[in-house]
Amino acid sequence: MQSINLTLEVWRQKSRNEPGRFVTYQTGPVSSDLSFLEMLDIVNEQLILADDEPIVFDHDCREGICGMCGAVVNGHAHGPEAATTLCQLHLRHFKDGDTIVIEPFRARAFPLIKDLVVDRSAFDNIIAAGGYISVNTGSAPEANSIPIPMPTAEQALDAAECIGCGACVAACPNAAAMLFTGARISHLALLPQGHPERTLRARAMLNKMDSEGFGNCRNERDCELACPKSISIRNIARFNREVIRALIRADD
């Protein structure tokens, strides 16, 4: 087990209405086997013992599943490692003596709450705007009652991997939510269960995305690079096709 010492430049801000600033902290010797959030836990323990206010950050499962954690580390959403959530980023990827700059996701649609925590409820509103799918409830249907080609099922499952963390928005120069919304729309547009409402869903999610204050996509592909689940920007192309289809069938 190797120990390293790190210098942290952490964004501290009590609320969205108060000014914020970077504050410097020293981790002291910490194991390189620790995750990034475990390192923040240790720093917070030190702050509490010193009667200082701990750093506020989002976390839940710490297994890269829930999408709760998220911060910009040295200019990268979730840190510099590809296909990695912040909770799964380990200190072995840093060197002894490194300075790490940690700040919240910055987007108009993600207003800051405190320190590294932002309000990502805009994503929930987009999902809610998409509504439901028309399927019969009750016992599970026979698996082969609706044949779905394997390539189509794989594409739908790949889109469904999105955990709604917001890294795509934080990485986008325009703070666009096209990758997130595209993944949500693609998942249901590809499967027959999602076809009855596909026209209304595309229109509603597009309108809600715009009203929440997200920017426009410029095909920079930064969202794809930052996504911890490697969601493809092909879902953005499918989203655009679904929107065009919905506009053509505006009277449906």
The mean pLDDT of 20-43, rounded to a whole number, is: 98
> What are the residue ranges spanned by the domains of the chain?
3-113, 120-248
Does 192 have pLDDT greater than 80?
Answer: yes
Among 236, 232, 221, 225, which Cα is nearest to 77's?
A: 225
* CATH number listed for the domain at residues 120-248: 1.10.1060.10
Q: Domain 3-113: give its CATH architecture.
A: Roll (3.10)
The mean pLDDT of 124-136, rounded to a whole number, is: 91
> What are the pLDDT digits (tens) for 86-104?
999 999 999 999 999 999 9
**Structure tokens belonging to residue 222:** 């930064």
pLDDT at 249: 79
pLDDT at 251: 56
Q: Which residues of 86-102 are buried (b: 16+ CB within 10 A; e: fewer)?
A: bbbbbbeebeeeeebeb
**Structure tokens belonging to residue 41:** 């836990």
pLDDT at 126: 98
